Chain A
Amino acid sequence: MGQIVAYIESYLGSDKTPGAAGNMFWVLVYIMLVFGGLSVAVIAMNWLERKILAHMQVRLGPMRVGPHGLLQPIADAIKLLLKEDIMPAEADGLIFWVAPFVVVLAAFTVFVVVPFGPTHAITDMNIGILFMLGVSSLSVLGIVMAGWASNSHYPLIGALRSSAQMVSYEVAMGLAVVSAVLMTSLNETGTGTLSMIGIVQAQMAQQEWFIFKFFPLGLIAFFIFAVAMVAETNRAPFDLAEAESELTAGFHTEYSGFRWSLFFLAEYSAMIAVSSIAVTLWLGGWLRPFPNLHGPSISIPHYWPPVDPTAPTGALDLVFSLFPGVTFLLFAAMCFFNTARMPKHPLFKIQTMGLAGFGVVLGLIGLALFVPPIRDRVEDIFWFSAKVAGFMYLYIWYRGTFPRYRFDQLMQMGWKVLLPMGLGVLILTASVALLQPMIWHP
């Protein structure tokens, strides 16, 4: 018994991730946390996408189930679980059955190396970014399997389109990633790293996000990745694989109920996964904005500086550490504001109370985030999630504004624009990295 407790406690206070420290208990806890958080994020994305798209098109969006349609995703999930599971008579049974699981597995496995903070990752791998690109490229297999096994015309064409698209955009994406990985090697030893945590630490050591490095080279590489990642996840304006005006729903036309919802889950978690690659490589991962500015050192009794003696103690650090709590308090304030605006009819009584209760929960979370031990542990997770959330909003924005590309335009863009640009940026980055020490430090 004592041994077990000692084993569990052996990880606490470590500066490594649980996987790197080899502590199975905390690895399991982190896996539960990450996958639970991911599922909640997908549910929230479902609601947000419908709401934001609706407001962009001057509609209301879901309003019926729960206050402002907040319970709509849950109602949808129940509907999908209760729906009849249909398999076409001529379908290839086993492959039809396995395909959704392949897609979900590929989309979820990549989160093993996503660094939410210097210690907040399931594990840290020497080949982190390679692992993420490799495993997320496996999801195309599931799409191809689904399209072929349905034994129907629309899914087959959708699967062919999507695999051609994903294979071609992977090349441009890889070149952009390589130029960012190259930037990690600009230190005294000249050794770069592929580890996700190592890449963020390299940005910390160089005091610069890679998007601003060698301006405008980092920015161009980031742009190539940002375009390729939308194509990789088959989202608008590159959603030819499920172009509803031509192919009904593309590769998942024949799927219904629970299996369809697995494709949905995989699509959204793949979006979160590629966004976290972009955040890690170019936007400084868990680092807060302006990580090199600290301001004058101050101290407030019982509140500041943090317990950890190595943590910075500046006034700006204090201000930025209050952001998570303030954000949640703002969410709570929005809930209360809308509670006051709810219709006063007695039929809306339960909904009004529910919205107020949700506001109270958000406010309590916000207040808890001000408590010093929680504040110090949560800040990095908050900044990482906030950056990823920015990308999620961009995805919805693209869908609301850009018209869909034609297939030949898509291929032209991938092979004739992004690929040469990626090669050029890679060569230029390497040349500048070689020349820079000779010119500035002779």
Chain B
Amino acid sequence: MAPVATPFFFYLLSGIMLIGGILVITRKNPVHSALALIVTLLAQASIYLMLYAPFVAGVQIILYAGGIMVLFLFVIMLVSIDRSVRERQFNSQWVVGLIAATALGGLFIAVYTKGKDIFPEHAMPVVENDNTQKIATMLYGQYMFAFEIASLLLLVAIIGAVVMAKKKI
């Protein structure tokens, strides 16, 4: 289906993402930060949808918003919020943050000014209708090795988590 009012939704979603991202680092209450992060991730999923990548959008919603962030919230809720709100943050790292932000900003400006040379002239052909199938053939064909390595890494991480959490196995 052809998208409707593309610029409007793009600016709306990017705006939500930016505001959400700023709220994540400025809120003192960690639960508020986590919820702002969820809003950011959902807006990002919608931008994937606008880029004709429905599968990535669906996975983003299931894994990040529905899975990982719920576990985040789960842990944060058990921590005493009152104390962490009153405590002064002692690990502020202005210098490193400034350097990273300048580097990223410089990269963005470079892409913006030289974008014509980097990006292809025409939009990519839309493959919305068989997006999932395309991803499947790529993952299990061309990139099989990388995919298996990633799953092995995840398996190691799972076993590590179990070993650390359980004293007696």
Q: Which residues of A are in contact with B by a Cβ distance under 8 Å?
A: 19-20, 22, 24, 92, 95, 123, 125-127, 130-131, 133-135, 137-138, 140-141, 144-145, 147-148, 156, 159-160, 163-164, 166-167, 170, 191-194
Known pairs A127-B58, A130-B59, A145-B35. 6 more at Cβ < 8 A? A92-B31, A95-B31, A127-B55, A135-B61, A137-B61, A137-B66
* Contact residues, B54-76 vs A (CB, 8 A): 54-55, 57-59, 61-62, 65-67, 69-71, 73-74
A126 and B55 within 8 A (CB): yes
Q: In the complex, what residues of A have CB within 8 A of residue B123's CB?
A: none
B1 and A126 within 8 A (CB): no
Q: Which residues of B are in contact with A by a Cβ distance under 8 Å?
A: 1-2, 4, 31-32, 35, 38, 54-55, 57-59, 61-62, 65-67, 69-71, 73-74, 77-78, 128-133
B62 and A141 within 8 A (CB): no
Q: In the complex, what residues of B have CB within 8 A of residue A24's CB?
A: 4
Q: In the complex, what residues of B have CB within 8 A of residue A92's CB?
A: 31
The 10 A-B residue pairs with the shortest CB-CB distance, nearest first, are: A137-B66, A134-B61, A130-B58, A134-B62, A127-B58, A127-B54, A148-B77, A22-B1, A144-B73, A134-B58
Q: In the complex, what residues of B have CB within 8 A of residue A144's CB?
A: 70, 73-74, 77
Q: How far is the CA of A140 from the CA of B35 in the complex (A)?
A: 13
Q: How many A-B contacts if CB must be within 8 Å? A: 85
Q: Is chain B's binding surface mostly helix, strand, loop or mixed?
A: helix
A134-B61, A144-B74 as given contacts; A126 in contact with B67, CB under 8 Å: no
A126 and B70 within 8 A (CB): no
The answer, among A95, A126, A134, A194, for a CB contact under 8 Å with B66, is: A134
Q: In the complex, what residues of B have CB within 8 A of residue A163's CB?
A: 70, 73-74
Closest to B57 in A: A127
Q: In the complex, what residues of A have CB within 8 A of residue B58's CB?
A: 127, 130-131, 134
Closest to B131 in A: A126
Q: In the complex, what residues of B have CB within 8 A of residue A135's CB?
A: 61
Q: How far is the CA of A126 from the CA of B54 in the complex (A)?
A: 7
B54 and A123 within 8 A (CB): no
Q: In the complex, what residues of A have CB within 8 A of residue B55's CB?
A: 126-127, 130
Q: List 21 A-B contacts (CB under 8 A).
A: A22-B2, A126-B55, A126-B128, A126-B129, A126-B132, A127-B131, A130-B58, A131-B54, A134-B66, A135-B61, A138-B65, A141-B38, A141-B65, A144-B74, A144-B77, A145-B35, A148-B31, A148-B77, A166-B70, A170-B66, A191-B130
